[in-house]
Structure 1
């Protein structure tokens, strides 16, 4: 990976992997640019819209950083500027790069951008799309996971924790399974490396709460508490001991 940081002026800052993408421009991070070229092949809605792009034999995900909750109704996509490297897109790009070096199944970071105006900035991140993947919420609404697959989920979480990475929102929609049944973790906004071990149980409990919530919300959701133990068994088999 050849990571390059470039400051364009007028408050525009870029971070990108030159082995994957040529020098990006402001347009690279806009919906209009990709729509004009007919390169958008899909989208997903969460906090804002995430675009799926096919370009030069690459499959990319473009995400505009958007606030959620009550503060999102007030500030939408605006964040307080505390330094370029402290911006959310740059932090997530760097964290993904570090985890990839550790061999974790997380998205490959392609490019990040922020645009600063005074004390406010807005930002975007492009990552490589995980081929043939679906989030576990969608999978479990269709069919159950096998015991070894739940073990794999637990091992993926343990591998993340072994790198001392805290996931801010470790819910079932942020865990993906590809067409070879490999498990991937996504959405590392507001995630970071932390010292110690006491916080790791909270990450696991966040996943359990999301499973219980989806079980209650969905008429068909193939999961039970018995299968939670399979996940914990997989976690314990891989987690480094405190």
Structure 2
């Protein structure tokens, strides 16, 4: 796929995935545009709200407006310091997604990104293609245990990401998706990047492990146990599947 940069005005720039669009209409990044069209078909809360919008009868997009987290969010909700287009969060995320997809990783397809700049401050948005018939692994585990085979595949998906040198800033159980075919996807690559070295990979896995422990302590019906993470590590280390992993 080809990524095309468009300078719309002095203060607005877009990146467009030409596989999906020839140009990025500014309305595409406007929440009210979609609401007036009655095309908002769902939403997810986190930092702000992520909208699922019906772009066409068979195409659903995920529209995310970049917002800050933590204490600073109370003072500066959606403003970021501008140090060049290449360093803006949506441009980095979109190009990283493009690189990962080209390498065959199961990540969201980037559609378009927008940066709106005023002086040294910018605001930003990203549109990706919604993953069909998928739910996050956290939701899955509140309903039923995952099989050893699924945990093995989660480990393999993370290993493929790490083999490409991609550091995931927030690798937690909510950023791993599973579709109806039991295919594992990894999402939310804001502030993620490619890096060299090895030590950070174990820290990524530790972060995921802590998120599982946290959810088990918080949720009385969270179907996860230590043996599940061992199945994940089998997949990550690309060990042969055990008899239990194929059940």
What SS does structure 1 have at the residue aligned with 2:238?
Answer: helix
Which residue does 2:164 correspond to in 1? 163
Q: Considering only aligned residues, what root-mean-square deviation do their CA atoms show, in Å? A: 0.9
Q: Which position in structure 1 is the counterpart of 2:242?
A: none
**Post-superposition offset of 1:74:** 1.1
For 1:24, the equivalent position in structure 2 comes to 24
The runs of 5 or more residues in structure 1 that have no matched partner are none
SS where residue 237 of structure 2 aligns? Answer: helix
Residue matched to 1:34: 34
Q: Secondary structure at the match of 1:122?
A: strand
Q: Distance in 1 between matches of 2:44 and 2:227?
A: 31
Determine the C-alpha separation between the residues in 2 that align with 1:214 and 1:36.
Answer: 37
List structure 1 segments (4+ residues) > 2 angstroms apart after TM superposition. Answer: none
Q: Counterpart of 2:107?
A: 106
Residue 70 of structure 1 corresponds to 71
In the TM superposition, residue 25 of structure 1 has moved relative to its aligned partner by: 2.3
Q: Secondary structure at the match of 2:128?
A: strand
Superposed CA deviations along residues 112-158 of structure 1, whole A, max 9, x for unmatched, are: 00100000000000000000000000000000000111000000000
Distance in 1, Cα, partners of 2:71 & 2:211: 20
Q: Quote the offset at 1:9 in angstroms.
A: 1.1
Deviation at 1:85, TM superposition (A): 1.1
Residues 221-240 of structure 1: pairs in structure 2 closer than 5 A:
221-237=222-238
* TM-score, with structure 1 as normaliser: 0.97
Give a deviation string over 1:52-76, Cα, whole Å, max 9, x none: 0111231110000000110111111
Q: Could you state the TM-score of these two structures normalised by the residue count of structure 2?
A: 0.95
Match in the other structure for 2:152 = 151
CA distance in 1, matches of 2:22, 2:66: 22
Deviations 1:75-104 (A, max 9, x none): 110000010111000000000000000000
**Structure 2 gap ranges (5+):** 240-247
- Offset at 1:161? 0.1
* Number of corresponding residues: 238
- 1:10 Cα deviation after fit: 3.4
- Cα distance in 2 between the residues matched to 1:119 and 1:49: 25
